[in-house]
Amino acid sequence: MLSPDIKTDKGCILIADDDENIREILTCILQQDGYTVFAASNGKEALELLTTSFPNLIFLDLMMPVMNGREFFDKIKSDTRFRDIPIVVMSAYDQSEVKLPANEFLRKPFDMKHLRRYAAAYCHQASP
């Protein structure tokens, strides 16, 4: 995993994407910005990480094996422990096609500044 030695105290972010390269580069960017980052390659892994990491924000890809993003979304929205965690859905499809009541939507490919804006906004909201 790419992890520049940067102080990570701005908040915790969970990335769920089946593409290893995207996980790597997103982790690298967000860690450098000072966030603690956990990455999962599918919804099941992401669910397991939730219980140990309690993130302030989740960046969620939809198309994933084992448990896809939609199934993961439904699972955590029906779990009282996690349903308030904000979710940013990342998809190559249009927001109107995705039809998921996520907090934010990032259409792939996206600009790094949008990624950072959502990370800053939601992790800032969550910090005491």
Partner 1 sequence: MKLWHILGHALIYWALSQLSFLAVLPAAPSGPALIWLPTGYALAVMLTHSYKIFPAFALASALTGLMLGFNLTLICGLVLANTIDPLLATWILKRYLKPDINLRRTKDATLFIFTVIFLSSTVSATLGVGTLWVFNDLLTPFTTTWVIWWVSDFLGVLALTPFLLIFRTTPLPTFKREDIFESIGVGLALSLILTLVLCQLLGADSLHFIYWLFPAIIWLAFRQGPHGTTAGIISCCTITIAATAAGYGPFIGDTVDKSFIYVQSFLSVISVVGLSMMAAVYERDLAIRQRDDFFLLASHELNTPLLSLDLQTQYLRELVKKNALDIIDSEKRSKLIEINAAAVRRLIEVVQGLLEGARVATGKLSIVRSKCDLRQLVTEAIQNDLPPLLQAKVHFQEGPELLGNWDATKIQLVIHSLLDNALKYGAGKPVSVSLERANQTAKLVVEDKGIGLTKEDQAKLFKRFGRAESIESFGGLGQSLFICKAIVDAHHGSIRVESQKGQGSRFIIELPLG
Indicate which single residue of 12, 29, 121, 126 sits in contact with partner 1 (rule: CB under 8 A): 29
Distances in Å between the alpha carbon of 51 and those of 14, 38, 48? 11, 12, 6
Indicate which single residue of 2, 48, 54, 127 sits in contact with partner 1 (rule: CB under 8 A): 2
Q: Which of residues 90-119 bind partner 1 (CB under 8 A)?
A: 92-93, 108-112
DSSP 8-state assignment for residue 118: H
Question: With binding defined as CB under 8 A, does residue 22 bind partner 1?
Answer: yes
Indicate which single residue of 64, 85, 89, 102 sits in contact with partner 1 (rule: CB under 8 A): 64
Distances in Å between the alpha carbon of 22 and those of 17, 40, 48, 64? 7, 11, 20, 13
Which residues contact partner 1 by CB under 8 A? Answer: 2, 4, 6, 18-22, 24-26, 28-29, 32, 62-66, 68-70, 92-93, 108-112
